[in-house]
């Protein structure tokens, strides 16, 4: 092979750089950890953690339609039958009161920027 040494080194460097997202992921920080701080003193959310983690945005979407259109303003949890008044601002944020340590940590890590707070008010931070 003509100029084999340089070509092989070049290929190795290329492969290393090309695959960098994969191996930095393995040796680096666990991508499932975003440093979210759960509210102190609260043991469980309205549903189990797995569901809330994966589906909270769909749940909120459904809550909105149920509350505004069907006037079903109470959600009965399948977890323990506990009843929650449907309200992002007054129910969710009552426990999850630390916006920058909870919502924002995960949203920033996942590059999602929902515009909830142009209308809804974060109790501890006032109108942003």
Residues that bind other proteins (CB under 8 A): 46-47, 51, 55, 58-59, 61-66, 68-79, 83, 85-86, 89-90, 115, 118-121, 123, 126-127
Smaller CB separation from other proteins, 107 or 120: 120
Measured between alpha carbons, how far is 2 from 27 in angstroms, rounded to an integer? 36
Smaller CB separation from other proteins, 41 or 81: 81
Measured between alpha carbons, how far is 100 from 46 in angstroms, rounded to an integer? 21
Tell me how far apart the 2 most distant CA atoms of the chain are, in Å.
76
67 and 73 Cβ atoms separated by less than 8 Å: yes
As measured in angstroms, the least distance from the Cβ of 70 to other proteins is 7
As measured in angstroms, the least distance from the Cβ of 101 to other proteins is 20
């Amino acid at each position: 092979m003509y100029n084999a040494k340089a070509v092989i080194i070049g290929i190795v460097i290329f492969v290393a750089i090309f695959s960098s997202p994969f191996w930095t992921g393995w040796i680096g920080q666990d991508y499932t950890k975003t440093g979210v701080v759960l509210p102190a003193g609260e043991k469980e959310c309205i549903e189990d953690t797995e569901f809330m983690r994966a589906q909270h945005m769909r749940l909120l979407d459904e809550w909105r339609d149920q509350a505004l259109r069907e006037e079903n303003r109470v959600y009965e949890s399948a977890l323990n039958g506990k009843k929650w008044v449907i309200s992002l601002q007054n129910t969710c944020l009552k426990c999850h009161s630390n916006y920058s340590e909870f919502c924002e940590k995960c949203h920033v890590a996942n590059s999602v920027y929902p515009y909830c707070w142009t209308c809804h008010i974060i109790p501890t931070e006032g109108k942003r």
